Amino acid sequence: MTNHKSLWVLLFLVAFWISFTVFSNPTKLWATFKLPVSLSHWNLVMKSSCPEVPLNSSVSPRETELRVREILEKLDRQIPPRPFTHLNSTTSAKHSTATILNPRYTYCIGDQLDVFLEARDYLGRRKEYGGDFLRARMFTPALKAGATGKVTDFNNGTYLVSFTLFWEGPVSLSILLIHPSEGVSALWRARNQGYDRIIFTGQFVSGTSQVHTDCAFVLNTSAELCQYLDAQDQEAFYCVKPPNIPCAALTHMHSKNKKVSYLNKKERSLFEKSNIGVEMMTKSPVINVYKCNTEAAVPAKEKCKLSKVSTVPSGHVWKNTWNPASCSLAPIKMKECLRGKFIHLMGDSTIRQWIEYFKSNINTLKSVDLHETGKLQHQLAVDLDGNINIEWQKHGYPLIGSLVYSVKEMENIARKIDRTGGEKNTIIVISVGQHFRPYPIDVFIRRALNIHNALQRLLLRSPDTVVIIKTENIREISSDVERLSDFHGYTQYLALKDIFQDLNVGVIDAWDITMAYGTNDVHPPQHVVGNQINVFLNYIC
């Protein structure tokens, strides 16, 4: 009997200790048992509130920060500071010389044509350093043909521009000076100097009242803030907290440009419209290309398959059709290819163009009303008979747009990936970049690394899932240069290739494709979008 009493007393003491521990410090107890406190994707908390314990991750925050620093240092080495005293000392397209090496009267398909470029300033003096941001392209308008050239910078004011002659006919050459090296240096310094070129306005709704406050990655204010935190990756966005309204009442957002510049008056002269995208090959002869050695057997190229390897150039356009350099695209019946598949399109409006293309080209694909509003609303299209599901979901902050959009369903792409089970008929296509150009590049690098880590987790638990990264499109050459220049896009393009090189993912090089087409439009025409999708279909079918 005494033993039974002792046992009951012991059980009572244990129960009391557990109850006391749970109510006094529940987080510590869950950590002891290695259980997550919360599985929510976005945690809406006050600045003064305690952050929730992040989910277990294969990559520590310290490792991520070290990787961010490593990539930044690589880019810094490629973009050294350049002195700028006067416009006359910067690279002049008019005074620079472009010389075709070993010129011939005729060339054969497959030949390489090299151009030696010597950069000179406005006073005709040879530049002593490189770093000019150039864009090389060859084209034949009558054939609707185009391809990019490969630029090699010798870092002494000279460049080698190499073109592969892909098609027969008269070919014109173009080398554009997008920005001189001094402009590149100024843009790089200015970009990484501040977060406030764009101001976001958040709409809070409480009952019948609406309140609007400023939102951003960084807010220089002493006001109380709402912190919208991704607990897993510790990425945060902030809004000024309206009085007597909870942070969770944030429903909509829109943005506008602020009159903020980190370029001085002298530097801004480099980015006047007349100084951007100036032709350097004004006296270039037309190159005549012929079919030669027609009797020689041309080895057949294999059908394109999922690949992250991208040559320079990665292909060419002929009769408005994209032709990869290292493989061949087979004709694919779109609807048959997509049968039984769930396509997740994640990112910005350039990948939203894909779902719009699918809906306009598959008449049995019907939109599902998800009861959201605005251009940036989540989209879902289904074909029940063909068991086709295609969805587009916008990426998380920053999402720049003058039109009001809902934020209630917003989440970072990494969280969406973590919620995806994945299998061989699950296809994920990701495209991010355009909305990150106005911010210090570490914001983009950190986001790309977090997406990489989420994909790494996905491919470990479901290696059959197909993942494709679509790189950025080029855009308008002289549009809002400090915020949106293609130079910013190019640095992100380089970072993206570095970050995803170790994963089994495919890459659609939209950067090279849109440059070959010469679209200069962030939202290229439908035939360009269709050719990006044709590469995608060859990857998955």
Q: Over 60: is that where the pLDDT of 381 sits?
A: yes
Query: Closest by alpha carbon to 451, among 409, 489, 505?
Result: 505
Q: Are strands 107-108 and 506-508 parallel, antiparallel or unpaired?
A: unpaired
- The three state secondary structure string of 163-218 is EECCCCEEEEEEEEEEECHHHHHHHHHHHCCCCCCEEEEEEEEECCEEEEEEEECC
pLDDT category of residue 479 using cuts at 50, 70 and 90: confident
Q: 375 pLDDT band (50/70/90 cuts)?
A: confident
Q: Which residue has the higher pLDDT, 4 or 220?
A: 220
pLDDT higher than 50, residue 27: no
Q: How far out from the chain centre does Cα 339 lie?
A: 28
pLDDT surpassing 60 at residue 457: yes
* pLDDT value at 42 more than 70: no
Position 305 scores a pLDDT of 87
Provide the pLDDT for residue 428.
98
Residue 528 has pLDDT above 50, yes or no: yes
Average pLDDT over residues 146-159: 98
SS3 229: strand
Asked whether residue 430 carries a pLDDT value surpassing 60, the answer given is: yes
Measured from the Cβ of residue 206, the count of other Cβ atoms closer than 10 Å reads 14
- Is pLDDT above 50 for 70? yes
pLDDT tens by residue, 272-311: 999 999 999 988 888 999 999 765 556 788 999 887 667 8
As to burial, measured by CB atoms within 10 angstroms (0-12 exposed, 13-18 middle, 19+ buried), residue 369 is exposed
Which band of pLDDT confidence, cut at 50, 70 and 90, is reported for residue 20? very low
pLDDT at 297: 58
What average pLDDT does the segment 122-131 reach? 96
The answer on pLDDT for 258 being more than 70 is: yes
260 class by beta-carbon count within 10 Å (0-12 exposed, 13-18 middle, 19+ buried): middle
Question: Is the pLDDT score of 160 beyond 80?
Answer: yes
Q: What is the pLDDT of residues 191-243, one digit of tens each?
A: 999 999 999 999 999 998 999 999 999 999 999 999 999 989 999 999 999 99
Mean of per-residue pLDDT scores for the chain: 89
Is the backbone of residue 11 left (phi > 0), alpha (psi -120 to 50) or beta? Answer: alpha
271 closest CA partner among 484, 505, 532: 484
Phi, psi of 227 (to 5 degrees): -110, 125
Global pTM reads 0.87
Q: For residues 156-184, give the mean pLDDT.
A: 97
Whole-angstrom CA distances from 314 to 63, 258, 307, 482 are 33, 38, 12, 29
Outline where 25-87 has alpha helix (H): 26-32, 61-78
